[in-house]
Amino acid sequence: MNIGILGGGQLARMMAQAGRSLGLNFMFLCPDIYACAAPFGEHLCVPYGDEDAQKRLANWADITTYEFENVPLSVVDSVQKKVSLYPSSSVLSVARDRLKEKTLFRNLGIPTANFSPVDSLEDLRNAMKNIGFSAILKTRTDGYDGKGQALLHGKNDLPSAWMKVGKAPCIVESMVAFNRELSIIAVRDQRGKMVFYPLSENHHRDGILRLSISRQDDPMQARAEAKIRYIMEDLNYVGTMALELFQVKDQLFANEFAPRVHNSGHWTIEAAQTSQFENHLRAICGFPLGKTTSVQSAAMVNLIGLLPSERQILNITDATPHFYCKAERPGRKVGHVTLTSKDYTSEDFQQRLSTLLQLAGQPELAELNFLNAATQTSHN
Ligand code: AMP
């Protein structure tokens, strides 16, 4: 089968790596000449809006998908008219707009931070009367990895925050004093069957994910599954989805969902029976879904800006590096490492994780005690 992907970054690359053993072929439409998925298929290196390239992709592919939310919606719409595309463009139109997304959560009865739409500085001033400080201003579309966001601690911050987000349509939301950040990854097939991965516990700095730990038998698992199930069923979703959550005591607040494979699920390559990448492909191709059971405990550490040497990483027992072959640049995800163990509570695992975090330039995360999830506090 031939799979067309809009986008050619590391998510497309890992999808294609997973698809090789299923005998799938790949074509990527991506304007970046250095698209890191390119070695794994044919690369159409033109702007997304190039209609000839869209036609070529649609004629060649049996099924299409996208690897990130910022592919222009008009392009996704146009490809979907020519060939099967999952998740559908109507899903993408919700996922790429924070206002539509939070409104969906609210309509489904899923708790969120208090939020309000903002289209002007005056709107922002008015909204803050209800939202209260501290709060966070986020562009409705095109934000990722902490970009398009500004923190609001007091009235004096409002004009500069409005400038910082480029006066673009936004939402403002209250800061949630969470105990933990979690994400649930689930996959839904074309007949509505769903499978769920064990929760990931996530640690961010400056809005960028640094570390995810797989949590088998987490007490919040069933509640998280119920929430993502509502969303996937409501959207008649097909493929892999990630739902990012804030845990406050024993309540879960939805932050956002990603209509795709997700950074917090990269550990599934080494530590789950079927990876999130393979299951996404199985779902969109109409194949039976694979089991999501963890075969071992895992932690995933992102390599941001700089790559340690292979030798340094491979000196750590059971560490598997994934280098994306992208140029090193501050704040850019250039790779990740998955560390596995029979038991994440063992001294030995904690020690190896601490060494890996130091190598990845995250010494302050190495200080955290990951054994006692209940004591984790917000550290943004
Ligand atoms: P987002 O782009 O919405 O995924 O935000 C990136 C990260 O910023 C989240 O994973 C949190 O660590 C933090 N963050 C975003 N929104 C909030 C919020 N309302 N309250 C607390 N932290 C937040």
Rg value, the chain, Cα: 20
Separation in Å, CA 293 to CA 194, 215, 270: 13, 11, 12
Look at ligand 1, atom 9, and give the residue with the nearest C-alpha.
Answer: 207
pLDDT level of residue 345 (50, 70, 90 thresholds): confident
pLDDT at residue 148, as a whole number: 87
pLDDT at residue 379, as a whole number: 38
Q: Are 99 and 139 in contact (CB under 8 A)?
A: no
Residues with C-beta less than 6 Å from any ligand 1 atom: 113, 136, 143, 146, 173, 175-176, 181, 204, 207, 244, 255-256, 380
Spell out the domains of the chain, with CATH numbers in brackets. Answer: 2-85 (3.40.50.20), 114-174 (3.30.1490.20), 180-366 (3.30.470.20)
CA-CA distance, 15 to 265, in Å (whole number)? 12
Average pLDDT of 71-97? 97
Shortest CA distance to 285 belongs to which of 63, 16, 60? 63
**Cis peptide bond upstream of 134, omega within 30:** yes
Ligand 1 centre and the CA of 205: distance in Å? 10
Ligand 1 centre and the CA of 149: distance in Å? 9
Q: Say if residue 373's pLDDT is above 50.
A: no
Indicate which atom in ligand 1 lies nearest the CA of residue 204.
Answer: 12
Look at ligand 1, atom 5, and give the residue with the nearest C-alpha.
Answer: 207
Indicate which atom in ligand 1 lies nearest the CA of residue 202.
Answer: 10
Q: Which pTM does this prediction carry?
A: 0.95
pLDDT at residue 152, as a whole number: 96
pLDDT at residue 207, as a whole number: 85
Average pLDDT of 243-254? 97
pLDDT at residue 36, as a whole number: 97
pLDDT at residue 369, as a whole number: 67
Look at ligand 1, atom 23, and give the residue with the nearest C-alpha.
Answer: 175
CA-CA distance, 90 to 88, in Å (whole number)? 5
Ligand 1 centre and the CA of 146: distance in Å? 8
pLDDT level of residue 233 (50, 70, 90 thresholds): very high
Indicate which atom in ligand 1 lies nearest the CA of residue 173.
Answer: 19
pLDDT at residue 375, as a whole number: 37
Beta pairing, strands 251-258 & 319-323? unpaired
Ligand 1 centre and the CA of 300: distance in Å? 19
Ligand 1 centre and the CA of 203: distance in Å? 11
Please list, residue by residue across 263-302, b when 16 or more beta carbons sit within 10 angstroms of its beta carbon and e when fewer do: bbbbbbbbbbebbbbbbbbbbbbeeebeebebebbbbbbb
pLDDT at residue 376, as a whole number: 43
Mean per-residue pLDDT of the chain: 94
Indicate which atom in ligand 1 lies nearest the CA of residue 380.
Answer: 12
The 10s digit of each residue's pLDDT in 170-217 is 999 999 999 999 999 999 999 999 999 999 999 999 889 999 999 999
pLDDT at residue 185, as a whole number: 98
Sign of CA dihedral 371, 353, 333, 218: negative
In order, the DSSP letters of 31-84 are: S-TT-TTGGGSEEE-S-TT-HHHHHHHHHH-SEEEESSTTS-HHHHHHHHHHSE
Q: Say if residue 265's pLDDT is above 80.
A: yes
Shortest CA distance to 260 belongs to which of 181, 183, 185? 185
pLDDT at residue 1, as a whole number: 97
pLDDT at residue 364, as a whole number: 87
CA-CA distance, 67 to 259, in Å (whole number)? 9
Average pLDDT of 302-331? 95
CA-CA distance, 291 to 279, in Å (whole number)? 9
Q: Please, which residues bridge with residue 117 across strands?
A: 171
Ligand 1 centre and the CA of 182: distance in Å? 11
pLDDT at residue 374, as a whole number: 39
Which comes out higher in pLDDT, residue 148 or 39? Answer: 39
Q: Are 177 and 376 in contact (CB under 8 A)?
A: no
Ligand 1 centre and the CA of 183: distance in Å? 12
Average pLDDT of 225-253? 98
3-class SS at 155? Answer: helix
Average pLDDT of 5-14? 98
**Cis peptide bond upstream of 198, omega within 30:** no
pLDDT at residue 145, as a whole number: 66
